[in-house]
Amino acid sequence: MNITSPCVVTLVWTLTDAQGQLIDDLDEPVEFFYGGTDLLPKVEEALADQQPGFETQLQLEPEQAFGDYNAELVCYEERSLFPEGVEPGMQFEGLPDGASTTGMPDDLIYTVTEVYPSHVVLDANHPLAGMALRIKLKVLDVRPATVDEVGAGSVGDSPFSVLDGAPPDEPLH
């Protein structure tokens, strides 16, 4: 079966930064909905009309992946607004109740980047924002999407959402 929308593709990949440093090695096959929100547009473009066994390597510039880094998505909040065990790497949906920073989007995931006695630094940028990426991928299988998958536009949580936050202008689901 050729990859056409809507369908489900099973992939493995290796994702590195532009200098070749490993970011993610997806060696266990994972299913993605093709024609929805599971894959970045440039990855979908490369997979169009391909079949199982297809392999490719792509260079993704920041605007094709997780966008440019936006310093306006970094804020500082009082340490007292957070749980006792707050530490770098923890994530929160939206800012905590009582946050003093105004104008920050409520619907983003904020990652704790630093914890100080008086304040916590939060960053709503995708962890890979501003980075050029290289992805080497292989298609292992292609199957028709189920009615539920078509309705959802996804097969579930995309690994891109784990790596990230969101591509530019559009949240990943």
Angle in degrees, CA 48, 62, 164, rounded to 5: 85
For 23-51, what is each residue's pLDDT tens digit?
A: 999 999 999 999 998 999 999 999 999 99
For 54-90, what is each residue's pLDDT tens digit?
A: 999 999 999 999 999 999 999 999 999 999 999 999 9
DSSP state of 167: S
Fold of 71-123: Thrombin, subunit H (2.40.10)
DSSP state of 133: E
For 153-172, what is each residue's pLDDT tens digit?
A: 999 765 554 344 433 333 33
- In the chain, ranges of CATH 3.10.50.40 domains: 7-66+130-163
Residue with tokens 């630094």: 121
Q: Say if residues 115 and 87 touch (Cβ distance below 8 Å).
A: yes
- In the chain, ranges of CATH 2.40.10 domains: 71-123
Angle in degrees, CA 120, 123, 125, rounded to 5: 175
pTM: 0.75
Per-residue CA distances from 1 to 4, 46, 53, 115 (Å): 9, 16, 11, 51
CATH entry 3.40.630.30 includes domain 7-66+130-163:
no
Q: Which of 167, 95, 154 is closest to 127 using CA atoms? A: 167
The phi, psi pair for 6, rounded to 5°, reads -95, 140
